[in-house]
Amino acid sequence: MRSYFATAARALSTSLRNLLRRPVTVEFPKVIRQRAERYRSSFALLHEEDGDEACIGCLQCERICPSQVIAIKAGGKRESPISGKKRGYADDFVLDLNACIYCELCVQVCPTDAIVMTREPEVPAYGREELVLTMAKLYANEKSKHRAWGDATRLNGMQVPPKAPAAPKPASPTAPAAGSPAAGPTAAEKANGGSPPAAAASPAAPSSTAPPVAPAEVPVTGNAASGSAASAGPPPASPPSGGAAGATASAPPASGTTPATGASSAPVTSPSGADAPAAPGTPPTGSGEGGS
């Protein structure tokens, strides 16, 4: 009997303690909670810097969408009013946001960074028709102040970090796996095929290069890949928070291994911004990497 009272008293005191805490409610709609930088909620189609539409009607996004919400009428090649060159266009582009599952795959595969996601805190509508994003709406969203962080370049750069141009060629560009045409032609930055492949090749690669990385930079340690890297060593718990994607803008060339901290497509400043030199260059723990 006593235990009933004692434990009940404890439960009561716990809830009392919560009574005295500040409520965590965000009073929507008076207060709109800010979303993370990478939050994905709606879409936008972009124009290029020269004013031309970025979408070339390649239909990659339509093909990749698992829910088949994108419907494009490809316009065939015609002359661009701005640059004068013949290029593809999309005559119509409809994205049905009702059925979208927000997987971001369409963004990832776009060769021209034409479609991106936006991070509106909410996308309300009075009817289903309003949520079917027509081409006009998509281009209008371009001006939204909630542009998300991700576009194809960034996403791909995160996964397959680009080689720095100066780097000595890595040993064989490892098979760019199944038929991927080395990336889109337009995206110069993109790692062309093979680069990081870590996987395959790898061990062979390391050595070399080592390169010009200033010791301060980079950690390289990356051992990237595949276990092989002997590294048993505990990864340099480095610096900016474990993940710092940011770091090193100039990722040293793939050289088989990944340039440090994957991520961050070099060109684009990753959100982290600085971080720069990252780790006090802990020399790569012994893993074969050459260098630094």
Partner 1 sequence: MSEGLVHGVVYSVVIVTVVLTATAMALWFERKFAARLQTRLGPTMVGPSGLLQPVADLLKLLQKEDIVPANADAVIFNLVPLLAALAALGAAAVVPFSPSVVASDLDVGVLYVLAIGAVTVLPVFGAGWASNNKLALLGGMRAVAQSISYEVPLLLSAMVPVILSGSLRLGTIVQAQADHHWFVVWPFFIGIPAFFIFVLAMLAESNRIPFDIPEAESELVAGVTTEYTGIKFALFYMAEYIHTLVASAVGAALFLGGWDGPFRPGLHWMVLKTLLLFVAVYWIRWSLLRFRSDQLMALCWKYLVPASVLLVGAAAVWVVLV
Partner 2 sequence: MTALQTVHITRRVDPHLPIDRYDPEGELMLLHFGPQHPSTHGVFRMDLYLDGEKVVKVVPHVGYLHRAVEKLCETLAYVQITPIVDKNDYVSPMTNEQALNMAFEAALKLEVPRRARWMRSLFAELQRIASHLLWLGTFALDLGGALGGGATVFLHCFRERELVLDLFEEVTGARFHYNTHTLGGNRHDLPAGWSAKVKAALDIIGPRLDEYESMTLQNRIFLDRTTGVGRLDAELALDLGITGPILRACGVDHDLRRDAPFHAYDEVKVNVVTAQGGDCLARARVRIGEMRESVRLVREMVDAVPEGTINAGRPVKLPVQTKIPHGQVYVAIETPRGELGTYLISDGTQFPYRLKIRPPSLHALSALPYIIPGATVSDAVAILGSMDPIMGEVDR
Looking at residues 63 to 92 of the shown chain, list those that interact with partner 2 (rule: CB under 8 A): 63-66
Among 70, 116, 138, 155, binds partner 2 (CB under 8 A): 155
24 binds partner 1 (CB under 8 A): yes
User: CA-CA distance, 101 to 117, in Å (whole number)?
Assistant: 12
18 binds partner 1 (CB under 8 A): yes
Binding mask 28-57 for partner 2 (x = CB under 8 A): -------xxxxxx-----------------
Stretch that binds partner 2, among 81-89, 90-98, 163-171, 237-245 (CB under 8 A): 237-245
Decide: 202 and 196 in contact? Cβ < 8 Å.
Answer: no
Q: Which is nearer to partner 2, 90 or 281 (CB)?
A: 281
Residue 161 touches which member of partner 1, partner 2, none, C-beta under 5-8 Å by kind: partner 2
Dihedral angle sign, alpha carbons of residues 117, 120, 121, 122? negative
CB of 210 to partner 1, least distance (A): 54
23 binds partner 1 (CB under 8 A): yes
**Residues in CB range of 142: below 8 A, 6 or more apart:** 44, 45, 46, 47
CB of 260 to partner 2, least distance (A): 5
270 binds partner 2 (CB under 8 A): yes
153 binds partner 2 (CB under 8 A): no
Q: Which is nearer to partner 2, 105 or 204 (CB)?
A: 105
Residue count of the chain, please give it: 292
Work out the angle at residue 112's Cα, subtended by the Cα atoms of residues 109 and 117, and round it to the nearest 5 degrees: 65
Stretch that binds partner 1, among 22-30, 37-45, 64-72, 105-113 (CB under 8 A): 22-30
Stretch that binds partner 1, among 11-19, 139-147, 234-242, 256-264 (CB under 8 A): 11-19
Dihedral angle sign, alpha carbons of residues 255, 261, 262, 266? negative
CB of 179 to partner 2, least distance (A): 5
Looking at residues 180 to 209 of the shown chain, list those that interact with partner 2 (rule: CB under 8 A): 180-181, 183-184, 190, 193-200
61 binds partner 2 (CB under 8 A): no
Decide: 138 and 117 in contact? Cβ < 8 Å.
Answer: no
Residue 35 touches which member of partner 2, partner 1, none, C-beta under 5-8 Å by kind: partner 2
121 binds partner 2 (CB under 8 A): no
